[in-house]
Each structure stands twice: as C-alpha cells, then as structure tokens.
Amino acid sequence: MSPPQLYWRKFTRNGTFDQDNLADSKFLAENFTDFFGRWLQEGDNSKVSTCHDLVMKFWDGNNNHPKYDVNTFAVADAGWFSRKKRPDWTWLTSSLRFLTVVKLNHKESISTSPDEWTLFIVGSSRPTNKYKFLQRHTFEKETPAEYQAWNYFGHSRDAFGDASYLGPFNGHVNGACIMKELHEPWMHWLGNETSSFKNALSPDDVKEFQNLPWITLEDDDPLSAINTNPGDLEDDIKRGVDRWFDTRRLLDYFSSTGQIKENPSNLPRWVAHLFLTTTINIGSALSNGSGGKYILPPNHLYDSELLSTVSTNLMPKLPQILFDESDYKQAVKNLQLCILVSADDGEEADITLPWNFLGGDRRDDPKLENLRFMKLQENSEGLSPFNILHASHEDALGVQKMQSIQKLPDSNSTAPESFIGLFSAQTFNAIMMVDFWNPIYSWKRGILMQYVPLDTRFDGKQYDLDARFIEKVKSSPNAKITDTPEYEFLQLLNAKPETHQKAILAYFEAIQARMKKDPVGTLEDYLTLAESRRRIYRPLPLDEFGPTMPFALKYPDPNVPMYLEMTPNGTTRDIPPRGRTFLSKWTSTLSGVDPQILPSKEDEPSQAPVAIDALPKPSGLAAPCQATTSQGGPGPTKGCPFMSTKSTAKITNANDPAKVASVPLTPKKSPTWTDDILPLIQAPYWVSGDPAKRGQGWIAMMIKWGNWNLASYDDVKERAVSIYRHLRTTSMPITGNPQNYWPEEALEMFRNWVNAGFPRDSSDSPSPEILIPKPIDALETFKIRRDIMSLSREELAVYQSKLDDILQVGALGSKWQELGQLHAYWCLHYQEATFLWHRAYLLYVEKLIGFPIPYWNGYASEAADPTSSFAGIPPMFLEDKYIHPVDKSERPNPLKFALALNGHSKSGKGEFVTRSSTLTEGPSSRHWKRTIGLFKLYHRQIDHALRQSTYTSSHTAENSGVPWAYITTFSDHQKNKLYPYRFDFDGLFEQVHDNFHGWVGPDMADNTYTAFDPIFLSYHANMDRLAGIFIDAHPESQFTSGFPLQPFINNGTDISYHDPRRWCYTTIGDMAKDTRSLGYMYAAPASPDAVTPPSAAERGILSPRATGGRAISLPPGILGQPEAKQGNGAIKPTTASLVEKEPSVVFTEVGCTTSSYRIDVFTAGAQSLVPDVTTNPDFIGQVTRIGMGRGRQGDGPPNSGRCRKPAATRVLPAGEFKEKLSEGSDVKIVVTNLETGEEVAEQEYVKMPGFTPKVVWLAE
C-alpha cells in the first residue's frame, strides 16, 4: 500500500502565497506524533473526506462496552429562531454545526498522557458532504479538486514561536473548538436554555440528520443524540486550557531539572494576557435576579473573569446590577438592535456593509466586496439580553499562571498562600485599577504594555520585571501629565487595597444611581458600549460570530468610527485621540498578512496597508491538523492558514530538503530523569489544582518526614523500587482526592526508567535490568462520591434515573419504601455505632443502584452565606422535572417527588416528603437569613467535633478521671491535665447531625420518616465523609469492633433480617476504617469546607502504632513520686488551685424520645428569645433531639434496643458568653416540638430525660 498523501503548510507571512508541502516519512515521524497524526497514517484513514465518515470510525453506539466515548454538541447562530415566522425564506439557514469529542471510554478527556487522547471533530450542517467539516461557512462555489488531503499546520507548543499565528497558535488554545460561550445561559448551543433547535431546522436538515446515529437516535426526533449540556464541553475546554498553560509555564519558567530559570522565555506573550485583549468570550444577562429581574453581566462592567480566577485582595463584595425587562426592551428599540442574516441573492437587502464589518468576508471575489444582510429579528439581541463580548478565560488563566509560578514556603499554615509571580500584588492591583471599568480593549493598559521589559532576571527570590517596569513608566514624559495611563498607574501604585475597593464600590454605586434615576437611558448607554466593543472586534480575522451578535441600526454607517469607553462614574464617553490611535493601529496589524498580537510601540510605524485580497480570511471553525488541501496542481493559498478547502495551495515536494522546514522532536527513547521523571514529580499533570504546587508539596513532605528529597536523582534512585510499590498501592501520595494518585501511564514511565538503569539524561546509555516486573493486576478503582453541586446536568440525571427506575421513589410497595422502613426500624443512635451503621446503609443503597451517592456538603464555608448558591437545600432537590438520560423523556424529579412513609408526609400536606417552607421558598422567605445563619453555629459544632482526639469512650472509660488521691502536690499553677474531662467525636458529631435533620424538616426531622427523603442519602454521605476525615486523621482510635450492625451482612452490601448468627453481621470494625478498603472515596467539595482539620500526617502520624501488652496501667505520678503528706486520710493542698476555666452548657441523661424537639439556649439575662446567630447576642446555641417516631401505625418502632438508655450527653461550648455566665448560674431554654411547632411548657419537658441544662465550667 502506498504511503498516505499528507501535507504540511509553510506560512509566508509576507503577502505571498502560503506553501503546502507533501510530507515525507521524516516529517511524518517527527510531527504527526499525536493520536490523530498517527491515526491518519494507518490504513486508508487519510482518505476520509466527510465529517460523518470520520465520526463513524469511532462510533460504536450499539455496543454495551464501546471502546470510545463519542459525545456530540450542536451550536447554531440562529437555533432559537423559528422558521415558521418567515416561511417564505426557504433559503434561510441557522448556520448549524456540530462538535464531536472523542476519547477512550472510561478515560479522562484532555489528558496529557500519550496513551489517553481527545479528538475534536468540527462539522458543518451537512456532515455527509465531502470537505465540509472544517469550516463554519463555505464561500467557494467551485467544485473542489477531485483529490483532497489532510494538511498539518503545527503543534500547540508553537503558539509562542515563529510558526505562531492567530487562533490556536497564538495561545488561544480553545480556538479549535470555538468554545466562546463559557458560561450560562448558552445562547447558541443546543441545551436547556435554547431548549430545542427543532423549529429552526429545514426539511433538508431533518432529512440529513435522520439517519446519522451520532446525531439522531433511532426512531426519535432529529438531534436527539446530541449532548444538551454544553457545560460538559465547558469542562473539557477549561481543562485543556489549564493544562496547556501548565505545560507552557513549565517550559518557559523552569529548567529541565525543575529549577526556576534565571531568564524565563516568551515574557511579552505572557504579560499580554494582563495588558491586552488577546481573545474574547461572549456572554449575556441571566434572568435569576431578585424580583424576577435580569442581572447585568458583571463581565460588562469589569474583568470578572480574571478577578475570579486570580488570587487577589483587590475585590470587595459587589451588589448585583438589576434591570427590568420592559426598560431593556425600550433601550433595544431606541438603538434598533437586530439580528442580521446574509441575504439571499434574490432578496432585497435591508443593509449593505463592507466585507470586514461583520467578519465572514468573501475576499477572493472582488465583485462581492460589500455584503448584503436582512433583518432576521428586529428590536432584539437574540435569545438573551446583553449579548456582549467579554474578557476571555484564556487571558484570565494566563495571568493566573504567571502570577503563581512557584509557591513560597510559609510556616504559618493559616496564612493565605503566597507565590512567586512576575508582578507584586501591589503592582498587579495598580495595573488592574488602570481603566478597571473597561475589561476589554482598554487602550490605557495597552499603552502601558510598551513599558514592560522584553526580558527579566530571577535573583533567587523574585523577578526584576516589576521594578524595571515601574522605573520605565516613571521615566516616561507622560508620567507627569494628568489623565494619561502612565500618570494614573503611578498614582494607583501606592494605594492600599482598601482605597481600590472604595473606588470600585463608588463605581457600582454610581451605576446603581443611574439605573434608578434613568433606567432606559442608562441601559441604552451600556448597550451602545457593547456595540462599540463589538465593532472594534468584528473586523478581525478571528471574528467567529458574524450574525450571531446583534447590530445597532441606529449607527448604520461603518465609516463613522465608534470608539466608546466606560468611566469611573458609570457613564460612557468617546475614547480620546491617543486611545483611538492605539486601538486602530493595533487592530489593523491583527488583520494584516503578518498578524501580531503584541502591539508596536507608539513611536513605531504600523504595518503597511495591503490589498484586500491578500488578507487572511476568518478562521471560522478551523482546527490544527484537521484541514484539507488538494493533491492537485499548484495554486495560491489565500485563506486562513488553518484551513484549505479547495485547490488553493501551492504544492512543493517535501523530498527536497531545501524546501522542508523540519520541526525536530525528541525521538522515542527510554525515559530519563531530567526529561521525564523529575517533571512527573515536580509538576504532576494529572492532579487537581496547581500541578507545580502539588509537586512541591510532595517534595517538602518527604524532606520533612523522610529526610530525603524527591527532587534528588540519587535519593530517588536509591529508593526507586520502594517508591514504585508505594505509588502503585496508593499508599503514596497521602491524599483525600483520588485524582492525585499516579495514573497507569505515569507509573509505567517510572517503571521503565528504573528498568532502563536509571538514565540521568539523554546522554546516558540505557543498561536494562528488570528490577520491577510488569504488574499483572490492574490498578484498583474506587467509586467516587462527588459533591452534588459539582455534577453536570447529565451526571445528575443518571443518579436521578437510578432512584426513579431501580428504587421507584414514587411508588408504594417499592424498594424505596422498604429502605425507608429499614432505617426507621433498625438505625442506631446515641451510641458509638451511629455513623458506622449509616455507612453500611449507604453502601447497601449504592449496591442496589450501582451508582455512587453524591454528597450534599452542608459544611461548605459558603453554606452559611445567605447570598451564596451553596446556601439552603441544593437546587436539584427543588426542581420539578428532569430529563431521563436513556429515553430522553421529561419526568417528575425523584429528588423532590419521593413518596413519604406509606404515601403520607409527616406534615400531613400530601403524599410526598416535605421540607421547611423557608428552605423551599429560598431567599424570598423572611426567615431566610436567620435560617441560613444557623450554619455558622453548625460549622463551629462540626469543627469542635473534628478537633477532638477520641472517636468515642468505651463503657469502662466513660467516667474516667484522675482520682485526687493520686495528686501528690498542690501549687498555685496546677496543670489542667489533673482536672480531666473529655469530649468525644461521636457524641458531638451526632449533636450537630440532629440539628441538620431538624433544619431540613418536617420529614427529615422525624426518624420514622427521615430516610424517605432523598436528601437523607446525600446528607448522610457528607456526614460519612466528615466522619471518615476524623477516622483517617486518628488511626489510633479504638472501637468496639465486634458490635454487629444489623441487618447488614457482607460489609454492608446485603441484608439479612432473620439470621440468628450474630457473628455473620457487618460490625463496627468492618466499617471503622479507610473508605478505600470499602471500595469508595470522596472527591473534593465544590465549595471548600469551613475548616479542614489536620490529617494524620500533619499530626505527625504516618501509620498507626500498636499498643497494649501491659499487665497493669498505673496513673501518672505513682512510680518514683515521693509519698504525699497526709492527715486524717486526706490530701492537704498547699495553695488554692488557679485553673483557667471556660463555661459549657451540658445536657446529661440524654436518650431517645418519640417526638422530635429543638432546644434553643440563651443566657439567663436574655432580652430576646429569637434563635438568630447574627442578631441576638444572648443566643448560645441549639440542640436538636430527633425523635424515633411512632412507627407506621403509631405503635412505635419494634426494635426498641436501637437507642441507648438515657446515658448520652450533649454540650454547647459557651466560652464567648463567659462574661454573662457565672459559677452556678442558669440559662434560659425554649423547647419546641418540631412535630406540632408548639413551645413545650417547662413542667412538661422536665419530665423527659436530658432536657434540663447545667452550666459547667471546664478547664481550658
């Protein structure tokens, strides 16, 4: 078989034609090295010429165990527009295109592993047409050459090099996927917001898509196979951008040995992300503002994208800017905003514009210099208001990476993390505050960039870039002229963060004042500002939107410049001449034959003008290594250098070495320490968060605990076999996040390095010796319980479908009803077994549904913030509907509509479980802030529990202490340990556990009903996570290991109600261990925990130590102590004890009750008995007593032994009320029956065990 005909393109960048060259075997070996490059060389793959044929090479939809994961998304300029509104426009197209993401099944997307790849295939609305799957629009009407070929354009590593161009090779690594909408509401992607493209499809569209299985499911509506959650693609894109920048940072700032370079590379391209708008995203307003109003996009007012990514002390908490839809519509009408669509040849155009005014030009045909458009929709911006350009995710991430090159060591673990970056925090804040109000196309920041040095030096502590930049600005003649960027920057440089924050708040207050006084006029100003920014951007070759963005017919003349900017007082004005000159000069070079992302200095001439037909075209959906070129005769290339769709390239033979610009790559070889192993250690690409930070953490930990250096070749070589074993068995690294374990490909690279004789660098010759044989068993995998707030819509739908289909939460006589009764009659409380019994319960449920239960993190720091999206019950428990992932039907949401016990809610208000009305109403409830504020108290209680040293007290130790007879001497400085008391984790944790149950209520507040609410599973998954954190941090804990957790058997994965052999049941010992031994782990929370306790390693415990072996244990001081002087059998103290004490409110003799109660505790002199943490200074805290319930028929639970007899305690630390409490003082309590909502009289609650508090003063 003859070798495939594959090409590579040489960019001339001088106005002459680009050159397409036939790739020889050497070029193929050195450059076609990624998965797709290799794939093209296999068999007849290079002859694939349609999008459909390419996707079908990987599609295996009918296989239950497919090799590939194929995920297709759809995007359209006008997918929201119904063709029924213009049935006469038969020529109308919605500009629909498809993006298919292919990866190996069960592998991570956008992986940096050579064995895990992700392929993006971009197709037009006609996937079966030849050569139509690489561009958004095809303007050429000529028939393509008979033979087409794939053309190589470069490697992303070239993004900063000589081969760089606009798009992916300019650092815009998402260019290949055109993922410009990175946030909701997803105006143009097929998804929840756009609902359906059905009404936008033509009959020809329907016919085209009907028989393509990767687009339409069999016997289903068109596009039914499309992934309707663009957020999944967003995750892939963001992960790809993040990893690209990590690699770029590693190459530019670090040597091959992992040390910071003295002189980093590509400095101007890094700082461009801070000073310039190197690429953009699009977004719009959201409709979830209070009172049904819209929220003005923050990215329109300041660079929210960047400032939410970079760690900074610059930003205050800002209010939302809200607007009414009626005011907005009037402003849109005043501007005559409309959506334009290219007019058909036979139609009379509404407006004619130059070719470069909306992008999407036809430069190769001089007769079509002007383009004709018709109004698709008048007085509209399309699907959502404020269809704006805003700062890009790439620029934000570029800045974040250059400002966190390496973490600085800090002995204070509670202090914010500090990093080595290019600019100091003070200088960074000053740069951001220069033109803060103009997040994109800021001429002021653009001009400041000319003062950034082209290089910098690292002196071992910091870069000299910051100081040199400031000095260059100071030396400018403009530095002393007011109203210049130079003067403004220097004035801001010495300002404190508080000063910046006041300016930002004043800016928002000015906007709010304008909106209140003249909402229509203000909205019109801000919409005009958006139009100005669009017109600055649209002539550029990377205008990927064209008609997707609105156009203001109020300003139809493209020859009249439109340069507007926002001011600090919330008004808009014309950009001054200096700013216009800068923007005009810079954007003209961007659209030239040699596009330069970096602007020239003000005293340098701009690029000479060139003929229109010599300029590159918009790239559309072009992707590197996915473009076609003809195999025909020579011809000019006038298109964008990422695609060639017909015979337009001049062909040269790559066998002529003089005409081949070879790109050298490292040949295949054995791994070496400097090139392969050390980078894996110093910047592990697979970890969560910052790889360099994670790697430095590993190195520091081993230096601290092992006294050897992971970054040392000799140290690692000496311990290599042991290191491999620890890594493979996941005993290293010590982590709570499974993503941080070494993946198989990294382990294999390490093993191959060891077996090759530990080569230090490429100059070493391998000396093979098998020290580590190839492993036989695959690595064990764990079920991962994830934060429910981190799940994508599709991932959540899978979980919902399991509750729906398997447990049948909406049906009587179902497995769901059985599970609820199992809990009601068998769960254990007020004892050591409580949380371990529930651990077994969750394992049993997971075995039934075959899916890990997502957890609801009520311990998230943001859960106590009434304004946060993490406050209250997670929104997925309140939604009415969900889309079933298999049949795509819309169904009642099982997380909300779950049948209560026997179809009767505890509240008596219906058949489904009910929750607190305050929580279901949300922020509109008048009690919302007070209810959410209780989480501050709950978080303190959880923190208190996690800080204890013992999980539980055994029966023999519950009353332990130091007998006074053993205290042999007294002084005025008695040690606190002589007056012991002990808090236990299990009792403290169950105390706050009960509070959460009562908080959700009513069904969750009654033990007979609680497990019928699906929130019970996610809530207890989080409590299990927190209990696991304690158990993992205290491997020395002791448990009553043989205690049976009935009715569970087989480590909680099955049940038996009747087996008399108690030894066969799952025990406390089975459950009280690392969750990995039980087959599951927890992913990191979506919002960080309020407080994270120290791990076992951080406490200095690398492994538990065996204890015991004593015949007798004697109290301290017995052996070797002088005999105490005694008189009349009593110890005589020498002085009075002066032990510092703190008050606590203690309830003793706590046991189970039938009903549930809430006890609110106040100081004795309390003026208010409102349980509000934020407003009542006398509110000490709250104790919830969850009742066991009355059983199904009110006859009580049959298993009366599942609660301890009244012997438990509950405690509220009251140290902050020390001044209001005194020895022997009382407290006020209010007891509320959660079933009736009525207050319980004192003469009633004193009859029940454990309801009378005592103020106890305990040693600090």
CATH number of the domain residue 1169 falls in: 2.60.310.10
> What was the pLDDT predicted at 1144?
87
Kindly report, residue by residue over 948-1006, the tens digit of the pLDDT.
888 887 654 444 333 333 333 333 333 434 334 557 888 888 888 888 888 898 899 88
Residue 637's pLDDT band (cuts 50, 70, 90): very low
Question: What's the rounded mean pLDDT across residues 1237-1260?
Answer: 86
C-alpha radius of gyration, the chain, whole number: 34
- Give the list of residues 6+ apart from residue 121 with CB closer than 8 angstroms, or none: 51, 54, 55, 98, 99, 100, 101, 102, 133, 626
Residues forming beta bridges with residue 1130, ordered by sequence position: 1127
Tokens of 528: 């005009």
Bigger pLDDT: 1057 vs 633: 1057
**Domain final residue, candidates 1082, 1107, 1136:** 1082
Q: Which pLDDT value is given to residue 974? A: 34
457 and 537 co-located in one domain: yes
Specify if 702 maps to a domain: yes
**Residue 502: its pLDDT value, please?**
95
Please tell me which residue, 182 or 659, carries the higher pLDDT value. 182
Packing angle, helices 985-1000 and 928-946, rounded to 10? 160
- The verdict on residue 884 lying in a domain is yes
Please give the full DSSP string across 307-347, using - where no structure is assigned.
HTTS--S--------EE-HHHHHHHHHHHTEEEEEEPPTTS
Record the tokens describing residue 541, joined without a space: 């070759």
DSSP string, 609-629: P--GGGSPPP-TT--TT-EEE
Strand partners, 829: 1203
Which of the pair, 207 or 656, is modelled with greater confidence? Answer: 207
Does residue 1026 surpass a pLDDT of 50?
yes
Residue 1192: its pLDDT value, please? 55
192 and 274, same domain (yes or no): no
Handedness of CA 729, 734, 739, 740 (dihedral sign): negative
Task: Tell me if 780 is assigned to some domain.
Answer: no
1168-1181 pLDDT, tens digit per residue, is 999 988 889 999 99
Output the average pLDDT for the chain: 79
Q: Judge if 953 and 1069 occupy the same domain.
A: yes
**Closest to 1010 measured CA to CA, from 749, 829, 884:** 829
- Burial label, 468 (beta-carbon count in 10 A; 0-12, 13-18, 19+): middle
Residue 76 lies in a domain: yes
Task: Examine the fold and report which residue of 725, 745, 773 is the final residue of a domain before the chain moves on.
Answer: 773
Both 146 and 273 in one domain: the answer is no
Average pLDDT for residues 727-742, to the nearest whole number? 78
The verdict on 164 and 45 lying in the same domain is yes
Would you say residue 630 has pLDDT above 50?
no
Given this model, what pLDDT does residue 488 score? Answer: 95
In a domain, 42, yes or no: yes
Indicate whether 454 belongs to any domain: yes
- Residue 1023 and residue 1166 in one domain: no
Task: Judge if 42 and 191 occupy the same domain.
Answer: yes
Residue 88 pLDDT greater than 70, yes or no:
yes
State pLDDT tens for residues 104-148.
888 877 876 767 888 888 888 889 988 765 433 322 333 334 445
pLDDT digits (tens, 9 = 90+) for 500-543: 999 999 999 999 999 999 999 999 999 999 999 988 877 665 44
Residues 221 and 285 grouped into a single domain:
no
Q: Which two tokens stand for residue 418?
A: 């500090």
Predicted confidence at residue 1230, as pLDDT, reads: 95
Do 228 and 292 fall within a single domain?
no
Angle, CA 373 vertex, CA 370 and CA 374 arms, to 5°: 160
Domain match, 925 and 949 both: yes
Ramachandran category for residue 260: left, alpha or beta (phi over 0 → left; psi -120 to 50 → alpha): beta
Total domains in the chain come to 5
pLDDT band at 60 (very low <50, low <70, confident <90, very high): confident
pLDDT at site 1030: 93
Is 1060 in the same domain as 1188? no
Last residue of a domain, one of 773, 800, 824: 773
Q: What is the mean pLDDT of residues 363-372?
A: 56
- Confirm whether 254 is domain-assigned: no
Residue 515 confidence (pLDDT) = 95
Q: How many CB atoms lie within 10 A of CB 418?
A: 13
- Are residues 303 and 436 located together in one domain of the fold? yes
Domain assignment of residue 583, given as a range: 260-588
> In this prediction, what percent of the chain has a pLDDT beyond 70?
77
Predicted confidence (pLDDT) at residue 1158 exceeds the cutoff of 50: yes
Rounded mean pLDDT of 676-682? 92
* Average pLDDT rounded to a whole number, residues 533-557: 73
Highest-pLDDT range among 595-599, 619-623, 647-651, 1229-1233: 1229-1233
Decide if pLDDT at 1191 tops 80: no
3-class SS at 459?
coil
Least confident of 714-718, 1036-1040, 1132-1136: 1132-1136
pLDDT tens digits, residue range 8-32?
A: 777 666 656 667 788 888 888 888 8
What is residue 1208's predicted lDDT score, i.e. its pLDDT? 79
Please check whether residue 610 lies inside any domain of the structure: no
With beta carbons less than 8 A apart as the criterion, state whether 1013 and 1002 touch: no
